[in-house]
Chain A
């Protein structure tokens, strides 16, 4: 294999390109972008705009997965943050006042920070397995979101708040800039400082990194906080896009899509390596896939079946055992014992 093919972005980009190519063949004006009233319109812009919350959540999830963790509570945090912001705005006298909106946004972000810190404390402080620790907030968080909204859908009539999720800046959706900003911050922090190395080393072996002077507890705590904040911002984007908050359905299954995006992007769930750009491409693949399915007129209900096969295909391609099994078909010699051991030891 050429070094080009071995690059971690090779397979995700191939999948994305194949999806886009398919769309181009199916409807030739897929790539066309038109300008209306100074805003850009087109399928590609839609994919970026609707994919923005997922990309945000997935960026946070990437860092958590890099420490060999997982955060199941992001969907609930998305719901809670949207709910608290909408509740505060809808109870205000003037829903368009800038102070109120900034205050609500800040409150929502702070709350998601606290929720992220709760997850982080359970994982790093109490030493609970990540999947379980975040399961607590996943179950209870959905209830908290419903408690905030009172089981209803809170609608707000604030054009300033709606700007966050559906407004546009310099002809592009505002949400894209939010995502770009968060991605830049994450990239700078992890690739220009030693933090990224710390995260990877904690993901490989927390005990060894502690011994070598890395404060593993703090690293783990901070990635969960970051993930919580990302999910909180995603919740703001999502709720402001539809100008309402729904405690039941907002962010439902987001954790699964986000984990999927991370895995498609080439980050292993075993920790120790992460690719933020891969994750972004993974999230875009998921969003493009959804758009494609809608566009070609497959009933939306079957989306899940297609998604299932994509997940399986991606996982199989990434599985060493599967590739080895395929490769073994062309080899004449077999070492059954070695194969059996390797499967468990690796």
Chain B
């Protein structure tokens, strides 16, 4: 059986996840259960949603450093409006989502129309969003609105005695929607084309400007949605929420097999990239004696392996062509 070369990174990612999960199951009692698997989704729901948005940005050949700050800003705005102003959540949540989308659109427009590097623009966006959090308040705002606590505590029972949270369901829906968008819509194909070669897509008559701006809009929207989910998870708004989160997100996308130069990769890979990060954390918490910084070192190591793997694969592809 010959495997299409373009599927190798994603297959490696999935295999790695299975191997790590199996290894954990043999090593620790109580690891091999459906609930541990479900907990991966519950604890990483916001990472999953952000990573989905980030996948599109990276597929289009850009990068978005503002995601962590936008999450923090979303939690802060939600907490501020619900808790201090007494607005109903039904108004606040759409407003927060809209805010994230507009934030992304503005960054995208600046990247495209003024031809400034995405790295710098989203860096400024990161500073701005993080700073705006502190303008609202420098302290944690705890949320005790009944809607938010209900969202945090509701358990959706699954067969086999396990359960999922509402956040995890939202995350799964986001992944499904993203897979559909990436592979079965015109927008998705435009994103891949744009990531492959911007000049060619322009000459082909694809709507480069619209696609590029939309990609950042989507990422902003996903970050805001992740922020809403994060509020369900933490039940508070705080300016220091999700610091350094953009790196976790980028790492998840890369471990998922997406090429950072753009144009190559799958949303499904990102899904498993997030799960792998979750498994590492679960293993470290099961181990008990390992400290949290080993997570960073292992993720760094995995990043290295995956980048090297991609490098080898893509260089081999080039030699075949020649």
Contacts and interface: CB of A to CB of B under 8 A. Distances in A.
A304 B117 CA distance: 20
Contact of B296 (A139, A304, A309): A139
Contacts of A341: 202
Interface string B282-294: 0000000001111
Nearest to A144: B297
A296 interface: no
A343 B199 CA distance: 10
Interface stretch (A109-117, A155-163, A188-196, A311-319): A311-319
**B112, B115, B126, most chain A CB atoms within 10 A:** B115
A167 interface: no
B123 interface: yes
A345 B199 contact: yes
Given A127-B311, A142-B296, A344 B202 contact: yes
B198 A316 contact: no
Contact of B299 (A127, A140, A256, A260): A140
Interface residues of A, number: 52
Interface string A192-209: 000000000000000000
Which of the listed residues A126, A132, A307, A345 has the most CB atoms from chain B within 10 Å of its own CB? Answer: A132
Contacts, number: 141
B102 interface: no
A245 B8 CA distance: 43
Contacts of B291: 146-147, 151
Given A126-B308, A136-B304, A304-B130, A146 B260 contact: no
A52 B220 CA distance: 36
B296 A143 contact: yes
B134 interface: yes
A141 B301 CA distance: 11
B42 interface: no
Interface string B240-282: 0000000100110010000011000000000000000000000
Interface in A313-346: 315-316, 319-322, 325, 340-341, 343-346
A288 B52 CA distance: 39
Interface string B125-152: 1111011101100100000000000000
Given A129-B261, A301-B239, A325-B114, A139 B303 contact: yes
Nearest to B247: A139
B131 A303 contact: yes
Contacts of A137: 300
A344 B199 contact: yes
A131 interface: yes
Nearest to A127: B311
Determine the interface band of chain B, counting residues with CB < 8 A from chain A: 35 or more
Contact of B307 (A132, A138, A340): A132
A321 B114 contact: yes
Nearest to A133: B307
Given A126-B311, A143-B293, A144-B297, A307 B127 contact: yes
A305 interface: yes
Contacts of A140: 296-297, 299-301, 303-304
A315 B115 contact: no
A132 B247 contact: no
A5 interface: no
Contact of A299 (B115, B138, B311): B138
A246 B163 CA distance: 40
B220 to A, nearest CB: 15
B121 interface: yes
Nearest to A256: B123
B119 interface: yes
A344 B208 CA distance: 10
Contacts of B208: 344
Nearest to A143: B296
A14 interface: no
B295 interface: yes
Contacts of A305: 127-128, 131-132, 134-135
Contacts of B134: 299, 301-302, 304-305
Interface in A140-186: 140-144, 146-147, 151
Contacts of B239: 301
B321 to A, nearest CB: 16
Contacts of B123: 256, 259-260, 311
B260 A316 contact: no
Contact of B124 (A129, A141, A312): A312
User: Which residue of A144, A304, A341 has the most chain B CB atoms within 10 A of its CB atom?
Assistant: A304
Contacts of A307: 127, 131
Contacts of B110: 312
B252 to A, nearest CB: 11
Contacts of B301: 140
A308 B116 contact: no
Given A129-B260, A136-B303, A136-B307, A319 B127 contact: no
A315 B299 CA distance: 33
Contact of A304 (B114, B131, B260, B261): B131
Given A311-B123, A344-B199, A302 B131 contact: yes
Interface in A94-141: 126-129, 131-133, 135-141
A261 to B, nearest CB: 12
B128 A143 contact: no
Contacts of A269: 117, 119-120
A135 B251 CA distance: 9
Contacts of B308: 126, 128
B128 A136 contact: no
Interface string B195-209: 000110010000010
14 contacts: A135-B251, A139-B300, A140-B296, A143-B295, A143-B296, A146-B291, A147-B291, A301-B134, A302-B134, A304-B130, A305-B127, A307-B131, A315-B124, A322-B114
The 8 closest A-B CB pairs, nearest first, are A140-B300, A143-B296, A301-B134, A304-B131, A305-B131, A308-B128, A308-B127, A146-B293
